[in-house]
Amino acid sequence: MRCQSMIASTLFALGVFAAFAQETVSVGGTVSPDRVERLFEAFDLEAPALAPVREYVQNRDWGSACDALLTYYRQADNPAFPQTAERPAHSDAAVAIADAALNDTFTFYEQTATVPRLPDGGLQWDYTGPEGDKEWAWALNRHKHLDWLLTAYQMTGDAKYAAAWSDSVRDWVLQNPYAEPNENPLVWRGLETQFRVRAWARGFYALQDEPAFTAEARILLLSSIPDHARYLRSFHKETSNWIAMELNGLATAGVAWPEFRDAEAWVDYSVDRLTKELTAQVYPDGAQMELTASYHRVTLINFESLVDLLRHTQYELPVAFPETIESMWNYLAYTLRPTGYSPLNNDSDFDHNGPGLVQKASDLNRPDWAFVATNGANGTQPDGLPSRVFPWAGQLIMRSGWDRDAHWAFFDAGPMGIGHRHADKLHLSVSAYGRDILVDGGRYTYVGGEWRNYFTGSASHNVILIDGQGQRNHPFATDTPMDDHFVTAPEYDLGYGVFESGFGDVEGDVKHERLVYYKRGGYWIVVDRITTDRSRRVTALWHFHPDCTVTIEGQSAVSTDADAGNVRIVPSSGTEWDVSLAAGQEEPEIQGWWSREYNHKAPSPAVVYDRNISGTETFAWLIVPAKGVPPEATFDADVNHDTVECNVAFGETNNTVYLEVANKPLAR
């Protein structure tokens, strides 16, 4: 066995009932003999520490066996789940959340509802919330409310919170016997199963000395652990953030309750399988293959949580775990906006990862991360240029510097992602002077329909539609880095990408190439080429953050908020567009919305450029950032085969840039 002596070492030795006056278990009714017998069949009763329990089991004295088992746990020492912990600082807000839970009222995804009670008094665990969203039911069955109750108990010492914790677990176990996938899908699913295991483990040990955590609830909880482990072992996903979470839950079951016969096998399987996932779903540049910042962090935290969990055992983890974990944190650090937020790509929420990176910089001795996350207030300035290329993810991060007012842009030219995909290849986001300006639309919902289609589709991104249609699926992953698609140099950055997988139900051949040039500290030039075998209607979209006030000035679009970051978008001269502005539009089609997080959406200005082309055509855009209203500019783009000569003028100041759109970017 690779994982030795996982059973806690501090045990009772004499007198099952000598140390504690405890509630005895009444076997029958809710704690049926069959349930108890199955529970003890799952334990390794040959372990010396369980000798007093074994004796009662052999005599089929189930009540005494349960009492002996609970006494064992009251005296057990599990380093991963200490029974005593530092009391958290009091928080009125945290107590208020727990008080609401006492009344069956929960808030998930910005929606608050009181869960109905069934005729027998039990909670309706498959309740889908005020909007009938399955995600709400799944959130309920993750048992986050148990953590709310536990925290309030630890803050106040009030046993009513422990009693509610106990009652909730008891009710859930009695109502929800083991079910395979699709038999009870709102309750039994891999993500919810692993969340419950981890919440139960925290509370099980923290409440050992609290009489309000009843003996009945303790036995019922323990009886359900083998079912949870069976589900996680049998039905986990093959890859993605799901498997990282599910097998973290399986390992938690093994570490939290090593007395189960299969506990060591649960841990062994989890580590072996997740070791393979370190390379199966993380690119060499540190990007998790879903290419979704939020789920990158979920996967990372679960890899890291497994390492932290097993540090409390004698298990030796492969060296690949800390190496991959550091590379994933490095990706988060160097994609971070100057404001401390991560990209809002694919199904991400708008995550503020800066503070966590400061702590992680200390933990892993990476002062460069601290410098990035604090805009240079702490740590050590990173070597080299401020921009970064992630060639496997196909992403270019363009920056003017490390200060909070720095320019920042995110250009996505890579694969679609193995999960949580949006039709957004060649999207460009821009931030400057402490605020986001050109944005990705976010995710909003997982409920199928027109809103889900909008937020996952091309129409909510800064890309191009062909004949009103968005991008079809393109390759989800890659086995080749895109090193030759990106250039970073002292004075500029350059990125190139191509989308050629088709648009909606559009017939014929059509391809979109995009080249992004950033003059460091100055402006961006975006060159788009549409290669087509026939006439097309081209729609170019530029989405602004909801906080931006946007006006159309002839062919240009400009945000105009005083003392704030803004941009001016100037199409190349000689290219006439029909320009319109949409914000919060639902008819005749959805347009002009932004989502900060799940179940949140807000009207946001979308500038829509439309024109007809008769065949292959190249056009360009100038994006000028400024604090306050950006200066007026003229912009010419002279196309000669694959070369584009760009002339940028601000008053009497002129710049000329030569760009080449031909399979990889070149500039001079």
Assess whether pLDDT exceeds 60 at residue 8.
no
Assess whether pLDDT exceeds 70 at residue 310.
yes
Model confidence pLDDT, tens digit, residues 359-411:
999 999 999 999 999 999 999 999 999 999 999 999 999 999 999 999 999 99
Contacts of 74 (CB under 8 A, 6+ apart): 19, 20, 22, 208, 209
Confirm if 438 and 426 have CB atoms less than 8 A apart: no
Structure tokens at 635: 């912009």
Q: What per-residue confidence (pLDDT) applies to 664?
A: 54
Q: Please, what is the Cα angle at 145 between 144 and 148, to 5 degrees?
A: 100
Mean per-residue pLDDT over the chain, rounded: 94
- What is the helix, strand, coil percentage profile of the chain, to 5? 35, 25, 45
User: Hey, what domains does the chain have and what are their CATH numbers?
Assistant: 260-383 (no CATH), 384-635 (2.70.98.70)
pLDDT band at 662 (very low <50, low <70, confident <90, very high): low
Beta bridge partners of 530: 512, 617
User: How many whole angstroms separate alpha carbon 432 and alpha carbon 564?
Assistant: 9
Give the DSSP H or E segment for 650. strand 643-650
**Mean pLDDT of the 129-144 span:** 97
Which 3 state secondary structure label does DSSP give 524?
Answer: strand
Chain-centre distance for alpha carbon 329: 13
pLDDT band at 612 (very low <50, low <70, confident <90, very high): very high
Which 3 state secondary structure label does DSSP give 593?
Answer: strand
Assess whether pLDDT exceeds 50 at residue 265.
yes
Residue 245 burial by Cβ neighbours in a 10 Å radius (0-12, 13-18, 19+): buried
Which 3 state secondary structure label does DSSP give 40?
Answer: helix
Structure tokens at 474: 């393109």
Confirm if 248 and 256 have CB atoms less than 8 A apart: no
**Which residue type sits at 159?**
A
Assess whether pLDDT exceeds 50 at residue 65.
yes
> Tokens 């100055």 correspond to what residue?
522
Confirm if 57 and 66 have CB atoms less than 8 A apart: no
Assess whether pLDDT exceeds 80 at residue 661.
no
Cis amide bond preceding 588, omega within 30:
yes
The bridge status of strand 556-559 relative to strand 664-667 is unpaired
Residue 490 burial by Cβ neighbours in a 10 Å radius (0-12, 13-18, 19+): exposed
| Phi-psi region at 55: left, alpha or beta (left = phi > 0; alpha = psi -120 to 50) | alpha
Q: What per-residue confidence (pLDDT) applies to 30?
A: 85
Beta bridge partners of 643: 640, 660
**Mean pLDDT of the 550-554 span:** 97
**Which residue type sits at 498?**
V
Give the DSSP H or E segment for 380. none
Q: What per-residue confidence (pLDDT) applies to 654?
A: 85
pLDDT band at 22 (very low <50, low <70, confident <90, very high): low
Cis amide bond preceding 338, omega within 30:
no
Q: What per-residue confidence (pLDDT) applies to 257?
A: 98
